[in-house]
Amino acid sequence: MISNFNEDFLWGGATAANQFEGAYNEDGKGLSTQDVAPKGIMGPITEEPTKDNMKLIGIDFYHRYKEDIKLFAEMGFKVFRLSIAWSRIFPNGDDLEPNELGLKFYDDVFDECLKYGIEPLVTISHYETPLNLAKKYNGWTNRKLIGFYETYVRTLFSRYKDKVKYWLTFNEINSILHIPFMSGAVMTSKEELTKQDLYQAIHHELVASALATKIGHEMMPNAMIGCMVLAMPVYPLTPNPDDVLKALETDRSNLLFSDIHVRGKYPPYAKRLFEEYDVSIVMASGDEEILKNTVDFVSFSYYMSVCETTDHTRKSTNGNIMPGVSNPYLKESEWGWQIDPKGLRYALNTLYDRYEKPLFIVENGLGAVDQLVEDEKGNKTVLDDYRIQYLNDHLVQVNEAIKDGVEIMGYTTWGCIDLVSASTAELKKRYGFIYVDRNDDGSGTLQRYRKKSFHWYKEVIATNGESLKEK
Ligand code: BGP
């Protein structure tokens, strides 16, 4: 393929602390919301961490980070997205002093990345708030969380300012609409949570995010701070104007988050939305000023698109957190997520048309069941041509978007090393270029093996996209 990727395009992979670090109670780490969610981000929570929670051990990155980062370097990664476990730094969230051992761990990880010329891309909060903040304050419904988050980000920025240039404030911040506990540490069940409390919690997060951007710019003039949203293009199922308007409405429920991050204020359509929901946001003096601290770039996850319709008899699709209606033109993954590479070009174009801000694709990939086999030399591997196909087709569309004029900073595939799934907490839903020998029954050696896609991605990076194949 003729590549249009810039020479400084940031190729890499993405992870989240709770899904791969393990060591859930080591070196002073406190409990997080994930430690009591053994069945995934939509599942029920337990009183205490239970043995069946795969995240407690994860893939043991905490003890194996050197080996793993070496493998990323072998693939030629320019960037590695990881998150910091808030409860490693502030075990209860409202502590006055940070936990030195937690800080030291990330120092070591960043040093290891930098040794190979890999830029860390850090998500400050990725679906794991200290559990104490959920229990004691009902998470982000409480304005006090802004202060705890501020203390946390100040600690991170002052400690890592010379090591980390790229920061994301909250993972998929719009997902709070669907998973208020995991995304916003809100203990009130989704069914009982009023729209008033939900949008007040959202307001607190948005203020905290803008505040982090402000502080980040002050403390690290060269840093780039972005928001991160779950991007899922919403197509009208039919040309019926009712479907078209419904799609617009659903799209806006998500765009509200990036609109505020980029434009620094609530958009005009929020007025009607709040009237209809009977929501009245309580603003503290100074909130509007803080929101004016806009992000440097917009990052997002992209796995699939969905359709919308007012026809309630249409089949709904399984999907990444956000519900929707099946698209008859698309095939789906083994987990029922519809595969739509052109939807990525569409998402990139619509976001760029709207904001004209650099975009960063920080998650994309295929969760699939892999089979460990031996190659002709007797090495264990996975022949994951399906994953190669998926990533190739999406990257071809990224190249098209660049040709369309969209400014794209980089691309990090989700779960570049196998890790625990967020939605189902399974290990058999694998995304990686690197196979990790750990199974859902807890068996496995935790050994790492290069999959066929490992070599494929290495080539894509080395050729800056030239090796991709258009159909
Ligand atoms: C995103 C989350 C990730 C991640 C990914 C894949 O929504 O930000 O944490 O896991 O989806 O989802 P899953 O693990 O459920 O397959």
d(CA 288, CA 115): 41
Indicate which CATH number applies to the domain containing 280.
Answer: 3.20.20.80
Specify if 440 maps to a domain: yes
Which residues line the pocket of ligand 1, CB cutoff 6 A? 16, 171-172, 230, 301, 320-321, 363, 367, 414, 421-423, 429
Q: How many domains are contained in the chain?
A: 1
How much is the pLDDT for 382? Answer: 98
pLDDT attached to residue 302: 98
Neighbours of 252 (CB within 10 A): 15
The residues carrying an active-site annotation are 172, 363
Domain annotation covers residue 469: no
In this structure, the residue with its CA closest to atom 10 of ligand 1 is 422
> Residue 120 pLDDT more than 90?
yes
CA distance 293 to 264: 6
Count of other CB atoms within 10 angstroms of residue 315: 8
On whether residue 5 sits in a domain, the answer given is no
315 pLDDT higher than 80: no
| 176 secondary structure, DSSP code | G
Among 15, 32, 363, residue to substitute to test ligand 1 (most atoms within 8 Å of Cβ): 363
In a domain? residue 30 = yes
**What pLDDT is recorded for position 320?**
87
Pick the residue whose CA is nearest to atom 16 on ligand 1: 421
Asked, for residue 467, whether it belongs to a domain, the answer is no
Query: Would you call 380 helix, strand, or coil by DSSP?
Result: strand
> For residue 42, what pLDDT is reported?
86
67 lies in some domain: yes
- Contact assessment for residue 169 and residue 225, using Cβ atoms and an 8 Å cutoff: yes
The verdict on residue 242 lying in a domain is no
Q: For residue 423, report the distance from its CA to the centre of ligand 1, in Å.
A: 6
Q: How far is the CA of 271 from the centre of ligand 1 (A)?
A: 31
Q: What domain range is 186 assigned to?
A: 10-234+253-307+318-324+331-462
pLDDT beyond 90 at 277:
yes
Contacts of 226 (CB under 8 A, 6+ apart): 166, 167, 168, 169, 295, 296, 297, 298, 299, 360
Q: Whose CA is nearest to atom 3 of ligand 1?
A: 422
For 141, 410, 460, the CA distances from 7, given in Å and listed in that order, are 44, 11, 13
Closest CA to 334 of 372, 367, 301: 367
C-alpha separations of 146 from 37, 99, 103, 111, 132 in Å:
24, 20, 21, 30, 15
Note if the pTM is more than 0.85: yes
